[in-house]
Amino acid sequence: MKIIWTDSAQQNQDAAAAYIFEEFGAIPLLDFYKNIDEIEEDLIAFPELGKVEPLLQDRSILYRSLVATKYNKIIYYVDDDKIYIVDFWDTRREPKAQSDKLK
What is the per-residue pLDDT across 21-44, written as a single tens digit (0 to 9) for each? 999 999 999 999 999 999 999 999
The 10s digit of each residue's pLDDT in 42-59 is 999 999 999 999 999 989
> In degrees to the nearest 10, what's the CA dihedral of 15, 89, 9, 69?
70
Confidence at residue 31, expressed as pLDDT on a 0 to 100 scale: 96
Q: Where are the domains of the chain?
A: 2-91
Nearest to 74 by CA among 55, 62, 89, 61: 89
Confidence at residue 103, expressed as pLDDT on a 0 to 100 scale: 65
Contact call for residues 87 and 97 (beta carbons, < 8 A): no
| DSSP H helix total and E strand total for the chain | 3, 5
In the CATH hierarchy, which fold is given to the domain comprising 2-91?
A: YaeB-like fold (3.30.2310)
| Beta bridge mates, 69 | 72
Give the pLDDT band (50/70/90) at residue 4.
Answer: very high
